[in-house]
Amino acid sequence: MKNLWLLILAVTLNISLVFDLYGANLAIVDFSDEWTKVTGLKDTLDQFKIDYDDYTKQIESGNLKFTDENKAFFIGSMVTNSLILHQGLDKNKKVIQEFVKRGGLVMEPTQADQNEANVDWLPEGLVCVRSDPDRPDIKIKNKNHLLFQAPHKLTEKDFQKWGHQGWPTVWEVISSQKGFTVIMESQGDPVIMEAKYGEGKFVMMSLAPDKYHVVGNDKHTKQKAGMFMENILEAFVLSKPWAVKPSRKLSTRWAHLKMHR
């Protein structure tokens, strides 16, 4: 009996350690925009039982400061619908750039072009310009990218027929860019793209999987957007050597997460 309790304690501590590591690694900013009316990123992470540092208040005050444990910074879809947050991100562009330069990853999914047409906090040499067209079709240019590998093997079919109200899969297309490698496109325009900067990486999207997972029009949209969010977390947070021991298998880590959903 004593050995059984020791085993249970060890397993519990192991699971707790996994979640503590995840929580220390991920930082976010989120906002309930005028179109979806939800904070989709926080809602999704809470559902997945992923801990995070919420820096929304810091950015509203114009004072963003990452901890040494933060390794990835996710900006929620349509965050720049808040003028204060938009200005806060721009004010902290040097903080964001230095974070990536030292090895961090910054990901920004779709933003309304009337709120953030030009992404001004990107460093010199990188350009991302958003525009109004919304499109239902996508083409994956790099099918071997980690975004489409685990824990779900995703194909172009998995991104078809997403919807929120009248908006399709691609919401506010990226109309022009400089310095990025395009991973997914729609009619020749970037949908997902990434760029190395220093030791880290910037990732830009014209998809809103965090919001679509929460308020998509139907079960299909919510399910597929949720699966893609899991892949985003796996590719940019959970699979990194600073997140967990390299020996821990992908399926085992997601099994831990799903046990608590």
Phi, psi of 129 (to 5 degrees): -120, 125
In this predicted structure, what is the pLDDT of residue 80? 98
Burial letters for 138-167: b for 16+ Cβ neighbours within 10 Å, e otherwise? bebeeeebebbbbbbebeeebbeebbbeeb
Residue 76, both tokens: 């929620």
Contacts of 38 (CB under 8 A, 6+ apart): 32, 211, 214, 215
In this predicted structure, what is the pLDDT of residue 241? 79
Q: Could you tell me the pTM of the whole model?
A: 0.86
In this predicted structure, what is the pLDDT of residue 5? 52
Residue 94, both tokens: 């040097």
CA 251 centroid distance within chain:
20
The domains of the chain, with CATH numbers, are: 2-259 (3.40.50.880)
3-state DSSP assignment of residue 239: coil
Give yes or no for a cis peptide into 151 (omega within 30° of 0). Answer: yes
In this predicted structure, what is the pLDDT of residue 22? 41
Residue where the block lists tokens 């020791």: 6
Residues making up the chain, counted from first to last: 261
Minimal CA–CA distance to 89: which of 116, 54, 128? 116
In this predicted structure, what is the pLDDT of residue 14? 45
Q: Judge whether 95 and 66 are in contact, CB under 8 Å.
A: yes
Phi, psi of 43 (to 5 degrees): -60, -45
The 10 Å Cβ neighbour count of residue 44 is 25
Please identify every stretch of the chain with a pLDDT value under 70, giving residue numbers as ranges. 1-24, 242-261
In this predicted structure, what is the pLDDT of residue 253? 54
In this predicted structure, what is the pLDDT of residue 239? 85
Residue where the block lists tokens 């919807």: 163
